Amino acid sequence: MLGLRASQTGRLATSLGLPRLVLLLAMLTAGMAVLWNIGRDNDGARWAVWVSLAGIMTLHQSRSDRPFADRHLEKPMEWFLTEYLVLLTPVWLILIMRGHLFQLLWLLALVPLTKMKPWRQSHRKARLNPILSLLPDDALEWKAGLRRFFYLIAAVNMAGLAVSFYPAALPVAQLLTGWMLMAFYEKNESLPLLRSFELPPAAFIQHKLALHARIYSLISLPAMLIFMLLHPQYWLVTPMLMFAMLLLHSYAIVVKYTFYDPGQDSQAGRFFQSLGSVAVLLPLLFPLVIILGIRFYFKSLNNLKPLLDDFR
């Protein structure tokens, strides 16, 4: 398995190319600097632990190599746990260097909970059918994404509401929810589904953006109103956060269709999707994401033109 991971890392570095690889290393360096700065006090260290655990849990629920691991590894869950501890190396090293041993113990104690097996797909689908039926028929990404992340999203928001008397609780829940929603646009739908909209490229992209904005704004409204009632002095925080999340989600949508290729998985697409996800935690990347988003909007139109040529 170590050899396989090394081979995958090598292929990723080769497919990204030198400029993107340099950008990735710069992002990792900036992330370490931000994490070091956040970890100065106990509150910052605590939030770093919770956000890291939420990220690992999201990764575990969305990974597609579980069947392969079940077939070829004797103890796949222990292997996943080892991978997650390695991925969290920057976090626990900074906690040690900053002297936050209590938060380090919490991190090490809670990481095993992130590797819980998800519910069987048929069981989840049956329970979610009443909720999914409320979504528009063409909200394909939302229906697929909620089948994967509904219970995790619900748990994050219920926790935020439970401690909503803390000013940071609901904004952090909104931040984590927006982060998980970006994963809705990682997978490419089939070409027949793409063409079923019967729209030209520009109308298709605009429809996707508008549909996502309507659904996300609607589900964000209750928590936003509760926050404004409880903390009126900070009323602007949640609307600004919702707008920032919508920008990142729009970026994820145009990246998906910039690199859309039926039946193919683009490493470049994954890289730029990851860039948007990192921007949730590193606001300094926002200007870059906005510039790339505008560029990718036009590139997505060019990429879809041959596929939607019949509907121009």
- Contact (CB, 8 A) for 161 and 223: yes
DSSP 133: T
**Which tens digit of pLDDT belongs to each residue from 86-137?**
777 888 788 888 777 777 777 777 777 655 555 444 445 556 667 788 888 8
- Per the prediction, the chain carries an average pLDDT of 79
Closest CA to 185 of 215, 157, 160: 215
CA 85 to chain centre: 19
Query: Residue 245: CB partners within 8 Å, gap ≥ 6?
Result: 174, 175, 178, 181, 216, 220, 280
For the chain, the domains span 1-117, 120-312
Residue 48 has pLDDT above 90, yes or no: no
CA-to-CA distance for 194 and 188, rounded, in angstroms?
Answer: 9
63 φ/ψ sector (left φ>0, alpha ψ -120 to 50, else beta): beta
Residue 42 has pLDDT above 80, yes or no: no
**Which tens digit of pLDDT belongs to each residue from 63-82?**
666 666 666 666 667 777 77
